[in-house]
Amino acid sequence: MDEQRVKGWWFIRLALTIAGKKGIWELTRASKHALKAQEATLRSVLTAAQDTVYGKEHHFKEILAARGAEALFAQYRKWVPLNDYEDLRPYIERHKQGEPDVLFPGKPKMYATTSGTTKEPKWIPVTERYYQEVYKVMNQLWFYGLIMNKPKVFYGKTLSIVGKAIEGAAPDGTLYGSISGISQRDIPKFMEVLHPSPAEVFHIADYKARYYAIMRMAIEQDITLIITANPSTLIEMQNNANAYYDAYVQDIEKGTLSRRFTIREDIRAALEARIKPNPERAAELRDLKARYGQVLPKHYWPHMQVVNVWFCGNTKIFFEKIKDSFPETCVFHEMGYFATECRPGIVLKSNTPDTVIFGHKVFFEFIHETELESENPRIYRMDEVKPGERYCMIVTTSAGLYRYNMNDLVEITGFLHEFPTLKLIQKVNGTVNITGEKLHERQFVEAVHAAEQETGNRVAFFIGFADTSKVRYRFYYEFVNADITQEKAENFTRVLEGYLKQYNIEYEAKRSTNRLHAPETAVLVRGSFEKFKSTCIDLGYRDGQFKVNLLMQDEKRHAMFKELVK
């Protein structure tokens, strides 16, 4: 074993351990006194923002005058309403135009974009403070946790699949992009050696070309850690390997990057600077194919230590399809619950979905699932939630999100001292999510109406269902014109989907990479809604309280509509 490489591994492990132990000590100390930690966190956020536009409008100084945690929380609830993104959009728009001190002091470090509930995407501000206090610190603990679970996790290369660090700029020039891409770009210099590809690889436009380049670079290396949020990405990687394995081998042998794919020349140059002929590895890969036929990750990456990926909720379907392709000795580390708007905590232990929330970095409130439709729900503190119960999480961050409804249903799984651990159950309030697209009912309804205008075909009733087993949506229509053919109905779906791609940037991204398959179309019989409602009432639903969402993930109701297809 190369002595220089061993020294490098030990230095990385030592540096991450030192930083990680410091973070664990801070987390453990804070978790023993949840109320104290939450009071300090909220006071710190409000103090920094008290002279901002939002802080003045919502009486931050008066709130801060409260003595004690209970009084502080009560005043905060009195003056600051529960918010969703649309409530904060006007303030964020002012920041985007270059105005400082609107939601937080100064201007943001960057924006992270994601799909919203309307046609317009969300622009989530990321402040320098939030980036340093939350992302940087949590990354240190995350890496330390991997080392504690698998000490040799950084002995080989790390394959990390992230978004583009920079995608564009706001009107005032502030950049926007992927927070995961920014995090990888800003890793410590001593960790750059771990990555087989430069960050430029994630800027390859065509997804097949992008996966080819990623896998061509990675399959040459001894990968011991994979980091990617969605296991559907692992499936796409393996599909690419199945299709182009021989091309990889040829490229590795000659030290080239195939010209069969269109890759921008500056990106190609950055990749080619990393490669040279490697006939020895090429021979190993040819031998693997001769021995196994279909070559899997457990064959070409036999020393894999950790696969860090989501495997709860809807992602479990993809995880089950790919998990046996990896070595038995590697562990699967849950990526944990986080979203573009907030990273509430991290998973510290492998083979568990439990995210430990950081009450010393983010201020948390909760609404019990039984009160989600209430106009005046009871608000629970972090120390009041109960294991096994489900809640909607409300967060306040140092990045300008105040009492922000995450629109996620989470289940409390336990506690680290007084800090809860939790796992994501599903989106709530009309949002459906198969591969990360977070498609909202409102977007679907508006797309249907836009398709009606464009095609001239009117619908008397329509509904959509997420089919997680097929990784696609299935759209059902009862057209006003009973003579609409299946062919015309499928064209209606194609037009509708064009609008969905316009309205939802995550949907477009997942479709463009084939992680989300094309939707299916079904034509309903006449009076379909009435027949459906009648069946539901026969099953015990109350007539006066009967309502139906137009976009759902509900297998029982989906089965009813399958019976109503022409």
State how far the Cα of 322 lies from the Cα of 157, in Å rounded to an integer: 20
Domain end: 308, 329, 350, which one?
329
Beta partners for 405?
394
Q: Which residues pair with 346 in a beta bridge?
A: 356
Q: Are residues 193 and 292 in the same domain?
A: yes
Q: Which of 38, 40, 23 is nearest to 359 (CA)?
A: 38
How many Cα neighbours within 13 Å face the side chain of 311? 20
The reply to whether 158 and 305 lie within a common domain is: yes
Residue that has been written with the tokens 């973070």 in this structure: 23
DSSP β-ladder status, 110-114 and 122-126: antiparallel
Amino acid type, 78: K
What is the number of domains present in the chain? 3
451 with 422, same domain? no
Same domain for 492 and 435: yes
Both 206 and 307 in a single domain? Answer: yes
- Domain end position, chosen among 383, 410, 427: 427
Q: Is residue 452 part of a domain?
A: yes
Query: What domain range includes position 465?
Result: 431-562
Q: Is residue 414 a contact partner of residue 428, using CB atoms and an 8 Å limit?
A: no
Residue 111 and residue 13: Cα distance in Å, rounded? 32
CB atoms within 10 A of CB 225: 25
**Which residue type, as a one-letter code, is found at position 290?**
A
**Amino acid at position 40, single letter:** A
Asked if the structure places residue 386 within a domain, the reply is yes
Low-confidence ranges of the chain (pLDDT < 70): 1-8, 313-314, 317, 537, 540-547
DSSP reduced 3-state for 333: strand
Structure tokens at 554: 């509900």
Is 181 inside any structural domain? no
Q: What's the confidence (pLDDT) of residue 543? A: 41
Token pair of 493 as six digits: 């779906």
Decide which of 384, 404, 427 is a domain's last residue: 427
Looking at the structure, do residues 302 and 381 belong to the same domain, yes or no?
no
- Distance between CA 123 and CA 280 in Å, rounded? 48
* Domain-embedded: residue 137: no
Contact 232, 435 (CB under 8 A): yes
279-292 vs 231-254: helix axis angle to the nearest 10? 120
CB atoms within 10 A of CB 295: 22
Q: Are residue 366 and residue 445 in the same domain, yes or no?
A: no
CA angle (251 as vertex; 247, 253 as ends), nearest 5: 115
Burial class (CB in 10 A: 0-12, 13-18, 19+), 84: middle
- Residue 555 and residue 441 share a domain: yes
Residues 420 and 442 in one domain: no
Query: What is the chain's length?
Result: 566
13 lies in the same domain as 63:
yes
Q: What is the pLDDT of residue 537?
A: 63
Please say whether the beta carbons of 146 and 28 come within 8 A: no
Q: Are residues 202 and 323 in the same domain?
A: yes
Cβ-count burial of 547 within 10 angstroms (0-12 exposed, 13-18 middle, 19+ buried)?
exposed
pLDDT of residue 5: 56
Neighbours of 323 (CB within 10 A): 16
pTM: 0.81
Category of 59 on φ-ψ map: left (φ > 0), alpha (ψ -120 to 50) or beta: left
443 in a domain, yes or no?
yes
Asked if residue 156 is part of any domain, the answer here is yes
Residue 208 lies in a domain: yes
What is the dihedral sign for C-alpha 72, 382, 80, 49? Answer: positive
Tokens describing residue 477: 């229509």
Helix (H, G, I), strand (E, B) or coil at 327: coil
How far is it, in rounded angstroms, from Cα 199 to Cα 360?
32
Predicted pLDDT of residue 544: 40
Q: Is residue 292 part of a domain?
A: yes
Half-sphere exposure of 251 (CA within 13 A, CB side): 24
Give yes or no for a contact between 309 and 231, defined as CB atoms under 8 angstroms apart. Answer: yes
* Pair (422, 452) in one structural domain: no
* Neighbouring-strand partners of residue 412: 422
- Residue 307 and residue 411: Cα distance in Å, rounded? 24
Distance (Å, whole) CA 413 – CA 420? 7
Q: Tell me phi and psi for residue 392, to 5 degrees.
A: -95, 130
